[in-house]
Amino acid sequence: MALEIVLISGMAGSGKSVALHALEDAGYYCVDNLPPELLMLFVALEQKQNAQRVAIAVDVRSRTSLPLVPQQLAALRTTLGVSVKSLFLDATTDTLMRRYSETRRKHPLSAGDEVDQQRVLRDAIELERELLTGMREQAHVIDTSIMRASQLQGYVKSMISAPASQMTLVFESFAFKRGVPLDADFVFDVRMLPNPHYEPELKPLTGRDAPVAQFLAKQDDVNLMYMHIEQFLLHWLDALAKNHRSYVTVAIGCTGGQHRSVYLVERLAEAFASVNRAVWVTLRRHRELDHL
């Protein structure tokens, strides 16, 4: 069996330790903060020992050697035949600042030379974003801004269960009032559609409940929106897959993330899972419902 590697990277304070714990629970041998200079040697050693699943965390503490990682991952896939999944954990700057304030920990870039010591936390976070740009572009991004630890663990486990040989399509519902997900590749705004929130008997329900689904299925604009999103994705997903994309996240947002966006995510995920199962792995997330 070929060696499987999950590379975890991302912003300090975004939940990399939580993700590593999830992978450890799933049977991965985990290494935190491995210097990129040692990555190829470490993989060769694991292959010699017939290891099957390894998770490696790399972060901004290895700032000088981070540019090596994209080339190393490409070499692992093409030359050594290693299955590699790369996940990047992110969160809004305000969220990261709040987490640092609550834990009273120092940001990795706030210590060092005299200039670094004078840098305010926000500047340190923005510098970290810049340094990690190359890593982020090569990975599937997970926005942990409003995730609980248990949610993140479950999401990481669902992502690693998808076959590496197929592109994974993630449908995600969200509420615009809580911000657009950082991990979205495509964002569709459905706030102009009829809103079950204003129907007293439907207000406490969600888009996963039959009465809400029946109400929305009768709305011409809802069906037209569904058709437009479906046709857009059917047209462009093949091109993304041919461009070696491992993950594509389609975010659909309404006002509260409870009815319209949830209904459309459920409907699209079901359709793409049944029609294109041989082509794309299909997952679904409901950011606001999962947060409850």
**Residues 195, 257 contacting (CB under 8 angstroms):** no
Encoding tokens for residue 131? 């340094």
- Specify whether 148 is located in the same domain as 17: yes
Same domain, 154 and 14: yes
Q: Which residues contact 223 (CB under 8 A, 6 or more apart)?
A: 217
pTM: 0.81
Share of the chain above pLDDT 90, in %: 52
Mean pLDDT lowest among 13-27, 108-122, 142-156, 217-231: 108-122
82 and 59: one domain? yes
Share of the chain above pLDDT 70, in %: 93
The verdict on 152 and 185 lying in the same domain is: no
Q: What is the pLDDT of residues 142-169, one digit of tens each?
A: 999 988 898 899 889 888 887 766 788 9
Provide the domain limits for residue 279. Answer: 167-291
pLDDT of residue 260: 98
Domain count, the chain: 2
What mean pLDDT comes out for the span 204-224?
97
- My answer on whether 130 and 243 are in the same domain is no
What average pLDDT score do residues 189-211 get? Answer: 97
| CA dist., res. 10 & res. 277, Å (int) | 30
- String of DSSP letters for 267-278: HHHHHHHHHSTT
d(CA 130, CA 60) in angstroms, rounded, equals 10
Q: Do residues 256 and 188 both lie within one domain?
A: yes
Q: Are residues 11 and 147 in the same domain?
A: yes
51 and 77 part of one domain: yes
| 240/111 same-domain check | no
